[in-house]
Structure 1
């Protein structure tokens, strides 16, 4: 072989060796690209199932990572908010919902979730605005109108609340929670007859719970119909509790003595009135002042929360139905 051919062969082999040698910079970039791809890759169904079955903090951390991968993913954002609420992180939940609403400003599910978190934080005006917007953008959602009504009742705007309940019932006439909360709203307005009508309808529904029955019994008692109150209460409560509640309510709503009797009572010279064996009955038509009722807070499916403690003097209360 000639010297020229030998030199050419050596050059080709040298160039081939250079071309096949690994490039450290290219390998680093490829590794970085793979790491980024792995970091942004959605979790597998198996990973999601494992996270959802874990403790609340682990679940929240998992969905925080998923949310950071894709903040514009609506389903991920909603799941993350639910996980945040599970650990009581309402402020972060509001932040996530607010950011997601920038991308989906008229999404009723986001608005409903925001209203519930505001309600949990006792931001009633914020909750009312969120529920109202949800009802406006999707007027066929009975739960949105009902949640709006509950919030208005908490703001003591009972007429507006009742208008919202009417819209909800126009969509779902037998919705138990709406009927029950409508009844409480009417009671707070002093309309015990209307309250009874709504609560009776609620109590007739298959999914009516103990709160509905308790509220109906209390409304009957406030009208002086103690036998009916006892009959309704006895469906769930022991006889001793029924008797105690009836006696307490009779004591609470008995009519106040006349002004003449009040004026005569302190006078030593005035003859004392003979004691009567029978306790006077309350007037069924007399409206009940809202101060004599203690309303518990609501909630929704998860709305709305724990019932407020009953007044120490009576042990009786009206309890709002979640949702």
Structure 2
């Protein structure tokens, strides 16, 4: 018997042992009137308190949780208040981090119904569509976000990637340049334009931009490894290796260098090799 069943059985036995008979007879043989039952107020247990939202401090600390724990945290907050935009955005981002791109898109789409002109919601909706490889559907919310917040570099930054996935290169290039205009010292913005150029055979221009990006404060491993990729595809393996070793473990460096040697030899002999999109896996 489980613990809960045992406790229930014990409680029932104690109740039966201590209960008075329904009608206790006196010496005169007449039954006493039964005691009145407990009033409704006494018999009804108190209603449970309504679930409360987490404090601002708890929400701030949620950013440091792993994606699964963050998803659980924000799902609870969203269930308490489905109109809570912060909770809905937190849930969508956590789901996207877990690779649950369809669920992330659905979560943020519900928010877009509630707040169709909220820039953060529109940007997250674009990210969700990009994450599932459906950039075409991310164009409209990114354009709307850009209209609502023309000085926010994130809108053209995401719009450029959405146009790329939709194979609208001229518009993608214009959006990349707009993002650079708004955030000229942002390594991610410069890196994205550089990779767009490299994918279209402009290796020298891409290298210059990536060197500029890698030298900026806040440059990440992604920027440095993009530069290593461009150098390696040009056959400059020593430089590529030096950059790769700054951020990657030895085995991964060896794997990447082996691929780059093969890719650069294929390019030198005129072979088509892999598409640029597949090269992105080395980043």
TM-score (ref. length: structure 2): 0.66
Where does residue 126 of structure 2 map in the other structure? 115
8 Å CA contact retained: 1:112, 1:134: yes
Where does residue 236 of structure 1 map in the other structure? 243
Tell me how far 1:74 sits from its aligned partner.
1.8
Q: 1:84 to 1:156 in 2, by over 3 A?
A: closer
Where do 1:148-227 residues align within 5 Å?
148-220=159-231, 226=235
Count of residue pairs the alignment pairs up: 239
Aligned equivalent of 2:74, options 63, 71, 81:
63
Tell me how far 1:118 sits from its aligned partner.
1.8
Mean alpha-carbon deviation: is it higher for 136-145 or for 40-49? Answer: 40-49
Where do 1:228-267 residues align within 5 Å?
229-237=236-244, 248=262, 251-254=265-268
- Select the structure that is richer in helix: 2
8 Å CA contact retained: 1:203, 1:213: yes
1:267-308 C-alpha deviation (Å, 9 max, x unpaired) = xxxxxxxxxxxxxxxxxxxxx97x6543259xxxxxxxxx53
Aligned equivalent of 1:146, options 157, 160, 164:
157
Aligned equivalent of 1:129, options 131, 137, 140:
140
8 Å CA contact retained: 1:183, 1:196: yes
Where does residue 24 of structure 1 map in the other structure? 40
Tell me how far 1:146 sits from its aligned partner.
1.2
Tell me how far 1:73 sits from its aligned partner.
1.9
Q: 1:208 to 1:253 in 2, by over 3 A?
A: same
Q: 1:251 to 1:115 in 2, by over 3 A?
A: same
8 Å CA contact retained: 2:231, 2:240: no
Instruction: Give, in whole Å, the separation in 1 of the partners of 2:140 and 2:180.
Output: 20
1:30-56 C-alpha deviation (Å, 9 max, x unpaired) = 945xx4xx2243345687689777776
Instruction: Give, in whole Å, the separation in 1 of the partners of 2:226 and 2:194.
Output: 9
Could you tell me which runs of 5 or more consecutive residues in structure 1 were left unpaired when the two chains were aligned: 1-21, 257-287, 298-306, 309-316
Could you tell me which runs of 5 or more consecutive residues in structure 2 were left unpaired when the two chains were aligned: 1-37, 246-252
Q: 1:27 to 1:95 in 2, by over 3 A?
A: farther
Where does residue 283 of structure 1 map in the other structure? none
Q: 1:75 to 1:218 in 2, by over 3 A?
A: closer
User: Is 1:95 matched up with 2:109?
Assistant: no
1:221-277 C-alpha deviation (Å, 9 max, x unpaired) = 656xx4xx2453243347x96986775455223356xxxxxxxxxxxxxxxxxxxxx
Tell me how far 1:182 sits from its aligned partner.
0.7
TM-score (ref. length: structure 1): 0.59
